Amino acid sequence: MSFNWRRTSAIFRKELMDYRRNRFVILTMLFFPVIFVTLPTIQILLINASTSNAKLTAHIGLSLLYMLMIPAMVPSVLAAYTVVGEHEQGTLEPILTTPISREEFLVGKALAVLVPTLGIAYVVFGVFLGISAIFAKPGVASAIFSGPHLLVQLLFTPLLAGWSIWAGIAISARSLDVRAAQQLGVLASLPPLGIVALMSFNVIVPTLGLALGLAAGLLFVDVLGWRAVAAIFDRERLITGKQI
């Protein structure tokens, strides 16, 4: 049977309604962004006009890395809850008895994590840029507003979120305990940040070609992640709660 967006959208809407009334989710969605906007903002505002170029690059790189931790870490916690959380509250079986396919279920779950994550990440980045433009030293602000930095942020935010989401859902589909799934999910979200960190610190100079190449690579990994998660999503194992 073909992919049915109505079913995917039912999961998506249900998840958003549930998030809205889930204190844990709201705190998770607020906690990381507040931390990751406060620290870099303070750091940027404390940079002197006389700071050397190398030091300035390091400071900005670190600040922007904080920004990218939002799309990496926020979805990992939520995604790790998606399947095992349903299992724990006894709602997984009723869902799996409906005609929804595993692909529709997984895409619905992933979108429900991705959309708020992107919203938060871009809003936080916007706030950071705004504060930097108004309050940072002119030299610092112009360095932050450089093309490569903006490109890295805009391009890698959804791609990092995609990685974290599929890694989190994969862990969630194989876990029997929510907390263990979330801890593993956070760990699994970190590796791609390594490359981004190298770019943020200008260790790898983020040319347009390189950024696009890495982004394409990450996009390929994200798609592969979706297929891999769909393959390991086993109704029978999920229903019986059998360990791997």
Partner 1 sequence: MTWGNRELPPTGPVVAAPPFAPPGGTAEMALVVDHLSKHFDDRVAFDDVSFEVGYGEVFGFLGPNGAGKTTTVRTLGTLLSPTSGSATVAGIPLSAENGQAIRKLISIMPESPGLYKRLTVTENLACFAGLYGLTDSKNRIHDALRSVNLTARASDLCGSLSKGLRQRVALARSLLNDPKILFLDEPTSGLDPVATRDVHELISSLRERGVTIFLTTHRLEEAERLCHRVAILNTTIQLVGRPDELRQQLFTRSLQVRLRTGLSDPGQVFSGLSGVEAWAQQTSNSYLLTVSDPDVAAPVVIRALVDSGADVLSIAESYHSLEEVYFELVEEDVEAKRR
Asked if residue 241 binds partner 1 (CB under 8 A), the reply is: no
Cβ-contact 57, 205 below 8 angstroms: no
Contact with partner 1 (CB under 8 A) among 50, 94, 209, 243 = 94
**Contact letters for partner 1, residues 131-170 (x by CB under 8 A):** ----------------------------------------
Can residue 232 be called a binding residue for partner 1 (CB under 8 A)? no
Residue placing its CB nearer to partner 1 in the complex, 106 or 197: 106
Could you write out the DSSP letters of every residue in 153-176? HHHHHHHHHHHHHHHHHHHHHT-S
Q: Does 9 bind partner 1 (CB under 8 A)?
A: yes
Sign of torsion over alpha carbons 199, 202, 208, 213 = negative
Q: Which is nearer to partner 1, 9 or 43 (CB)?
A: 9
Under rule CB under 8 A, residue 18 binds partner 1:
yes
Nearer CB in complex with partner 1: 93/177:
93
For 214-219, the CB contacts below 8 A with 24+ separation are 215/155, 215/156, 215/159, 218/156, 218/159, 218/160, 218/162, 218/163, 218/192, 219/159, 219/162
Chain Cα centroid distance, residue 163: 7
Residue 16 interacting with partner 1 (CB under 8 A): no
217/219 Cα distance (integer angstroms)? 5
Which stretches of the chain bind partner 1, using CB under 8 A? 1, 4, 6-7, 9-11, 13-14, 17-18, 21-22, 89-101, 235-236, 239-240, 242
